[in-house]
Amino acid sequence: MERFRLSWKKIIKVNIAREEPANKSNKNMATTFIDYKDKKGFYISESFMQLAIYYISEELKKSQYTFVNKTELLDTLDSSIKGYDKGFLVLLWDEELEGTVDEQTMILLLQNVKASLMNKGDMISLTELKAIPTDDPDFERLYSRNPFPTSELIKIMDALIQMLNGSWTSTNLYLDINYRL
């Protein structure tokens, strides 16, 4: 299934993927395909990717990171966090990262997100999850019940790093996230 995403600068065609996750407790969650270059990527529940995007966005806001399209990157991530991209949540890194310098900077950023997550301990507290600014009632409801394991967000960051450095080879892996709903 294909949809079009309207950006204030361009219209971008994105693929919507629906696939049943291996973790049956997550089977009713919307699924998206996150890819970068040559259609290599992974399927993941949108709500889990939305949470990962929040931590990426928080790190990206720091002044130490310079990207050609930093404003566009932040706008795209913010739209996803707020829940405006339901049904077509994607990372637009193919269009928003300009060359190897941006790619290497994003890899560094993701490594710093991983370090930050590791410093949080085993779980992200309910207090922290509830404080995430969003307009998405489903996101608020999902993350109001149980703390979230940091190891699962680190798994997402590792996959994104591998995609950016070219070592990710899968075109159809479902990234199963272990979170008790």
Is residue 151 assigned to a domain? yes
Task: Using DSSP bridges, classify how beta strands 2-6 and 173-174 pair: parallel, antiparallel or unpaired.
Answer: unpaired
179 belongs to a structural domain: no
Q: What's the N-to-C CA distance of the chain in angstroms? A: 27
pLDDT tens profile 147-159: 999 999 999 999 9
In a domain, 42, yes or no: yes
What pLDDT is recorded for position 5? Answer: 43
Q: Look up residue 59 and give its amino acid.
A: E
Tens digits of residue pLDDT in 103-138 = 999 999 999 999 999 999 999 999 999 999 999 999
Q: Does 92 reside within a domain? A: yes
- Give a yes or no: residue 8 inside a domain: yes
Tokens of 4: 């079009």
For 88, the token pair is 């077509």
| pLDDT value of position 180 | 81
Looking at per-residue confidence, does 138 or 89 come out higher? Answer: 138
Confidence category of residue 40, pLDDT binned at 50, 70, 90: confident
User: Where is pLDDT greater, at 113 or 9?
Assistant: 113
Residue 87, H or E segment:
none
Contact 117, 153 (CB under 8 A): yes
Measured in degrees and rounded to the nearest 5, phi and psi for residue 143 equal -100, 20
Residue 110: CB partners within 8 Å, gap ≥ 6?
A: 56, 157, 160, 161, 164
- The domain of 100 spans 2-174
CA 166 to each of CA 99, 171, 173: distance values in angstroms, whole numbers, following the listed order: 13, 13, 16
Q: Which of 34, 29, 120, 135 is nearest to 78 (CA)?
A: 135
CA distances, 99 to each of 4, 8, 45, 110 (Å): 25, 22, 28, 17
The helix/strand/coil state of 9 is: coil
Q: At what angle do helices 150-165 and 99-119 cross, to 10 degrees?
A: 160
Tally of domains within the chain: 1
* Interval 166-175: pLDDT, tens: 999 888 889 9
Q: Is residue 103 part of a domain?
A: yes
pTM: 0.84
In this predicted structure, the answer to whether residue 93 has a pLDDT above a threshold of 60 is yes
Given a contact cutoff of 8 angstroms between Cβ atoms, the answer to whether 159 and 30 are in contact is no
